[in-house]
Structure 1
Amino acid sequence: MRLATFNLLHGRSPADGIVDPDRLVAAVASLDADVLALQEVDRGQERSGRADQTALAAHALGAVEARFVPALVGTPGERWRPAEVGDADAEPTYGVGLVSRLPVARWRRIPLGSSPARLPLLIDARRPALVRDEPRVAVAAELAGDGPVGTVVATHLSFAPGVNVVQLLRLARALRDARPPVVLLGDLNLPGPVPPAVLPGWRSLVRATTFPTDDPRVQLDHVLARDPSGLEVTDAAAVPLSVSDHRALVVDVEAVTARP
């Protein structure tokens, strides 16, 4: 089973600043993932041609299941409000997505909150600006059948130090009763060793720098597993693509077979 996570940057290329849906589809297709977690995903946004980017990713992979969960209604950096349960079909929206070639038995939306304060963020190369933190959310899918993974989860945590750790712990608690093995995929906005250090019982399935894509110096994107003793990683890589300022993170896993 191939698992992947990709912060799309709403499909924008850092090389030319263009958002091209065909370029996005080609990038996602090249990952050939069975399960793909998506962050910074647009739906109905003018800046990305009003596309449903989760649906584009599902089409690119030939997926049978896909779910977009909005974190906000409106446009990041402009006017927006936190998304609510009834906003599943609202537009324009922005959030996270989860795409699967495998049947899903049950979907779940998990709200994670946001930082109450405006925080400095480097918007351009010249100076930081005070930015209102976006609400954060996760989407979990319990996979049907007897594959090596029981539950997959996609999320994008806050850039606010400390807030992201609180959100990660909140998410782990929400997943206590999820069908194991549980795999959490996403941009956690935490450097490589931190997530497994604060989550007892969870293990990182890949260590690789993912940001920025042209000269990656830090791992912000993660694939973590709870109850991982039944999983064996056969391959893993951080993959540069033609869109986004993040590299995609790809992990191949299989069930550990009993040895005589």
Structure 2
Amino acid sequence: MGLETGAEQKPQRKLRLLGLHGFRTNGAILRHQLSKWGPALNDLFEVDCLDAPLPCSGKSEVESLFEGPYYEWYRFNKDYTEFYHVDEKLFSYITDHMKLHGPYDGLIGFSQGAALSGCLAALQEKGLALQDVPPIRLLVLMAPAQLRAPHLKHIYEGPTIKCPTLAFLGDKDWLRYAGVEVLKSFENNVTICHRSGHTVPRLDDAQTATAAQFLTSQLAAIEASNVAPKSEVEVPEVAFKGIDMAEEAELLTTNVITESHNEEISVAA
């Protein structure tokens, strides 16, 4: 019998994330989109991809690529001045799922799901929704934008959203400017820019390392907060906080990692 070398080390747990898919897609499609990141990132988290409550009200742009049924989180008119179903019923739908299947460490969303994820974090911090579930400790937002429902405009105006956020912005994404704008409302964000369009991008080695560092540091902070008094927990610093439009060009060549792969399949927000 060999000599004991010490107590077995407890395996590192994964982050638990609730996944919110894009417009007129579904949870299984989001899971497929995330698979392109590979084990270097996917081994750091497990994701529960929830289907939105509303059946698809029009043609899905992914019908030729993925099987339905397709869903949407909310609806809007053609000029984005009126929004429908962004209400207590939607928030309760998500809260009830989190109560039943959680706890979750954070949210991961693409496009419409990213807009909703950021909105939910803001609402929770301001005491307006998700008060019956644990705090959202991190966000992963791919092609984010402000959820522009008029009755929610105030949640982006201050104070800033403190939830640590990893964001992905595409150089060719029609929502890029909206993503830059909404991230001004997030106090602590790490942003990775890629050269693709409206998609969950493939990541090169440098981008993967940046994303992995964010995820592991957030897990460490969560674990530390579970065993130490709040005043003793050190919050890891992020690469930078927010994006200022005047500084964006400089960020693209300094703090922000760029992506060199060809454009992937686009999915409308």
Would the TM-score normalized by the shorter structure come out above 0.5?
Answer: no
Tell which structure's C-alpha radius of gyration is larger: 2
Q: Using structure 2 for the length normalisation, give the TM-score.
A: 0.34
The structure that is strand-richer by fraction is 1
Q: Using structure 1 for the length normalisation, give the TM-score.
A: 0.34
Relative CO higher for 1 or 2, CA cutoff 8 Å, sep ≥ 6?
1
